[in-house]
């Protein structure tokens, strides 16, 4: 295990791993540790995606992408901060600590300047990822972190590598969060994935930031997915003044046909400036 680190607090238990806040014992620097417990229900796909997350983050040199400090596997069973034992051989990542939480905790009290800056910072980080052939596939408020006031895009556990040497076992599976998933993700059309897939999620996020809710809010997951596939966008009702063309900008990002969206993050950026 990352021996100079003292675990402080369990943070999250997701499909791709468990996350703890920790502290470097010598420098007292806060970090986050993500571990995939190597247990019977940890499939080959889980381990593949974890390794892919490390490759993805390590390949993107950009201040808007969370930084990896170390990675490895547990050399012996470890008792983590929540009292659970993690088996020997479980892979882990040590990442920088985002001190200011995630976007989901900061949705309220927005204005246009804040909204624009968040979207531009996110698009800049995505442009760097897309230039490396990496599609994030899970853009949502909880994966947009802030550290010292600056945005950090995190959780590349669902990332799709367009030029990967190995076949991705998740490519034919639905990956993402229902409120922010592009139609091609829902339909598992992996050959149609591209920068425009993440840009659809940016459109959902822009809608959320302006109106207080993502475009297709439904009572069930199935109904949300159907909304992305078939339903027209609801009435755009921003909670604060926005430029007249912001609605059409979101609508272009949220086009169901991939050819009707912006092709690259830079295109969306230029229209937003």
One-character DSSP codes across 54-88: HHHHHH---TTBPPEEEEEE-SS-EE-TTSPEEPT
- Among candidate residues 75, 113, 138, 231, the one labeled active-site is 138
Q: Residue 39 carries which DSSP code? A: S
pLDDT beyond 90 at 174: no
Q: Is 165 a catalytic residue?
A: no
Give the pLDDT confidence score for residue 1 in this predicted structure: 45
**Residue 75 binned pLDDT confidence (cut-offs 50, 70, 90):** confident
Instruction: Write the pLDDT tens digit of every residue in 190-241.
Output: 899 999 999 999 999 999 999 999 999 999 999 999 999 999 999 999 999 9
* CA–CA separation, 52 and 37 (whole Å): 16
Of 154, 136, 181, 135, nearest to 64 (Cα)? 154
Q: pTM to 2 decimals? A: 0.89
């Amino acid at each position: 295990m990352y021996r100079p680190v003292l675990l402080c607090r369990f943070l999250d238990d997701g499909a791709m791993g468990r996350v703890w806040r920790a502290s470097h014992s010598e420098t007292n620097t806060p970090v986050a540790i993500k571990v995939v417990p190597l247990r019977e229900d940890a499939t080959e796909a889980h381990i593949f995606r974890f390794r892919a997350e490390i490759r993805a983050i390590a390949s993107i040199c950009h201040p808007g992408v969370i930084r990896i400090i170390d990675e490895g596997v547990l050399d012996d069973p470890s008792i983590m901060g929540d009292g659970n034992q993690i088996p020997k051989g479980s892979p882990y990542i040590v990442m920088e600590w985002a001190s200011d939480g995630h976007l989901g905790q900061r949705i309220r009290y927005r204005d246009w300047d804040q909204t624009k800056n968040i979207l531009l910072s996110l698009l800049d980080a995505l442009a760097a990822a897309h230039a490396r052939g990496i599609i994030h596939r899970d853009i949502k408020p909880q994966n947009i972190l802030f550290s010292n006031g600056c945005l950090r895009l995190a959780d590349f556990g669902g990332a799709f590598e367009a030029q990967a040497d190995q076949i991705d076992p998740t490519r034919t599976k639905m990956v993402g969060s229902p409120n922010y998933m592009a139609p091609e993700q829902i339909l598992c059309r992996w050959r149609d994935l591209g920068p425009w897939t993440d840009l659809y999620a940016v459109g959902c996020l822009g809608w959320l930031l302006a109106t207080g809710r993502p475009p297709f809010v439904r009572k069930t997951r199935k109904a949300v997915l159907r909304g992305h596939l078939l339903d027209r966008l609801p009435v755009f009702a921003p909670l604060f003044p926005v430029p007249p063309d912001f609605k059409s900008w979101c609508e272009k990002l949220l086009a169901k046909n991939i050819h009707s969206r912006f092709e690259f993050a830079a295109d969306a950026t230029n229209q937003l400036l």
